[in-house]
Amino acid sequence: MGLGDLIFLIPMFPLAGFLLSGLAGGALGRRGVSLASCGLPVLSFLLAVGVVSRIAGSGATIEQDLGRWISAGLLEARFVLRADRLSAAMLLVVAGVGTLIHIYSTGYMRHDRGYARYFAFLNLFLGSMLLLVMAGDLLLMFAGWEMVGLCSYLLIGFWYEKDANARAGMKAFVFNRIGDLGFLVGIFLTYYAFGTFDSARIREIACTGGVTDPVTGLFRAVPADLSLVPLICLCLFVGATGKSAQIPLFVWLPDAMAGPTPVSALIHAATMVTAGIYMMARLSFLYAMTPEVMAVVATVGAATALLGAIAALTQTDIKKALACSTISQLGYMVLGCGAGAFSASIFHLVTHSFFKAALFLCAGLAIHALGGMQDMPGMGGLRRRMPWTYGAAAISALALAGIPPLSGFFSKDAILVGTLGRVMSDGPSPGDPGGFLAILYAGLYIAGTACEALTAFYAVRWVALVFLGEDRSAPATGMEAGGAVAVSVGAGASVARGSYEHGEGAGKEPATMLAPAVALAFLAAIGSTLAMIPAGGGLTGFLAGAVAGPVGGAAEPSAGANYFAAAASAAMACLGALAAWFVYIRRGHVPASVPAGGLRAVSFRLFHFDAVYDAAGAAVLRLARGLCLAVDRILLDGLLVREAFGGGARRLGEILRRTQTGTVNAYAALMVFGAILILVCLVLAPGGGP
């Protein structure tokens, strides 16, 4: 019974917590629920640490086969959990950040009526996410993928009494569903091409053209249809755009802020939304085979990064601003995947989960202190009342902004260096005589670097509006601001939820809430060391075997390119931060809760994607309705049922009913007639006759 036989407990602990809180929440009481639902993730985390230290030591993959899962004809899927270096990194993040946010939630949800329900869902989420991360094959990963989607839906609509919240949950679910369809088709195509769901075997087949038996060491060639790989990668990427909020499916994420703030921190910033990036990194060897698809991925990522950053510039809801930032940062990660810098993407995923979770937790503390207010123009001056929160938020925001030497700078820089590397390696080639890819990646690099300035700008703006300046939440203005919020956030986050006690003055930051925020901010600050400390090249080196390396055998970018990129990003970040400092701190500008119009409104409304989708969706539905009506009313109901079918059957029935006279002699006569008929039929048969 070694550690390898116990890894199934990592997802099982939170799932047990789900059952415990979900079924016996009332009997346990609040204390019991808190203990169970925080204690079990801690156990998962400790086990994960054990697993990671084992993997880091030996480099081996730990695998546990829990038996047959699905079997139908030739298709067989086994319930395999696997921990390699990639999933190890994710395990630590998910279990670690997850545990911290569970602890934070005990404070944040203290007065909520649905305390047990909340923790049941949160535990279910954690278990599902760990399952997703440890899944040994794509089907199991899809199961986890769907389960986290379900939890996201349940938790966004947690305060379902409010119509807007329920609708936000639905929207997230529907948009995720579109992506999931792509993912599912991708999985089927993968099975079609490789004949297996197991990601390790897919990798082996894709890279070596066959399978090596682990016992005998014999190599067996497996014919695989590699021409399908670009299509597979595209389909899988569609899945990633849904889950990881990329263009064009990103619109659900800002609305998802309707859920409780810890949920936004855990699900919609740190873990679930990064599942798409994790999936692409897991299958990075497939992506590495198709430079064209990678170019698409990178383009979408860079565009999303820019779009999110521009949208974040004008948001006035404290959580929506962070949500737009999340979209933007996820865009960076996707850009990294598209540039072949998978390990850099995972690095950024890790640091982002630290600083973005910390920012959300600080936002939660601020909202708590202000009795449910989420409108940033109505805040301000919280620095004096909650110094610890301010400190944590400031450090995390600077990390987000990419100010060296905080972690965000290093991880983002790694992605941009990877992109720059593609520019240098992708010269004119036989497949690409014009050097088109090199030009494209150069453009993407410039966009990414410019986006750094925007990132720094909105990060500093966020801190300034919430924590610096005058306290604008005085009762008189508070009313106004509250009214404005009601207008501004519409379908999204809401103001008063009644889940926390009003008037629980700021400054009394509960330790259960403050400690996780500070811990995450600390991690955000020192996360940069991940790039350096572990022997053998930091996190990138740690992941080297687990994800595909630079594409097309491109050399590592030269030291000169490295320094150039680092200097450029640092300069852009400082530029953006300075600009924001000038506007929002020096001059104390306070934006209106809803921008009046013009370009600001375009940014505030996320480029009107929602309105377009609404109109298009409505048009499609109207068309479908008309078609269905025509087919149903005229063809089916009218022609088939009333005339041809129903009428005929009814008339036939009427005639036949008359033969049923009820007199038994008539029955006997028909029987004899039938018997004679049978005999005649036999006698008249060809070649027959007695």
Interface ranges with another protein (CB under 8 A):
645-646, 649-650, 652-654, 656-657, 659-660, 662, 664, 666-668, 670-675, 677-679, 681-690
Burial class (CB in 10 A: 0-12, 13-18, 19+), 74: exposed
Residue closer to another protein by CB (options 27, 640) is: 640
- DSSP structure class, residue 555: P
CB of residue 72 vs another protein: minimum separation in angstroms?
11
CB of residue 71 vs another protein: minimum separation in angstroms?
11
Are 495 and 365 contacting, i.e. CB atoms less than 8 angstroms apart? no
d(CA 318, CA 458): 12
From the list 157, 270, 286, the residue with the least C-alpha distance to 527 is 270
Residue closer to another protein by CB (options 60, 672) is: 672
CB of residue 187 vs another protein: minimum separation in angstroms?
24
Show Cβ contacts of residue 165 under 8 Å, excluding neighbours closer than 6 positions. Answer: 156, 157, 158, 159, 258, 259, 494
Residue closer to another protein by CB (options 619, 641) is: 641
Return the amino acid letter for 566: A
- What is the DSSP track for 100-143? HHHHHHHHHTTT-TTHHHHHHHHHHHHHHHHHHHHBSBHHHHHH
Residue closer to another protein by CB (options 74, 664) is: 664
- Please calculate the CA angle 494-357-176 and round it to the nearest 5 degrees: 65
Residue closer to another protein by CB (options 619, 668) is: 668
Residue closer to another protein by CB (options 60, 641) is: 641
Residue closer to another protein by CB (options 69, 613) is: 69
CB of residue 687 vs another protein: minimum separation in angstroms?
4
In this structure, what token pair is assigned to residue 413?
Answer: 């820089």
From the list 358, 684, 406, the residue with the least C-alpha distance to 525 is 406
d(CA 289, CA 533): 31
CB of residue 65 vs another protein: minimum separation in angstroms?
23
Residue closer to another protein by CB (options 223, 638) is: 638
d(CA 356, CA 100): 13
- For the chain, the residue count is 690
For 403-415, b/e burial (b = at least 16 CB within 10 A) is bbebbbbbbbbbb
CB of residue 673 vs another protein: minimum separation in angstroms?
7
Residue closer to another protein by CB (options 60, 670) is: 670
d(CA 383, CA 465): 11
CB of residue 674 vs another protein: minimum separation in angstroms?
4
Helix (H) or strand (E) holding 66: strand 62-72
Q: Which CA distances in Å does 399 have to 139, 174, 192, 624?
A: 36, 33, 44, 49
Residue closer to another protein by CB (options 227, 659) is: 659
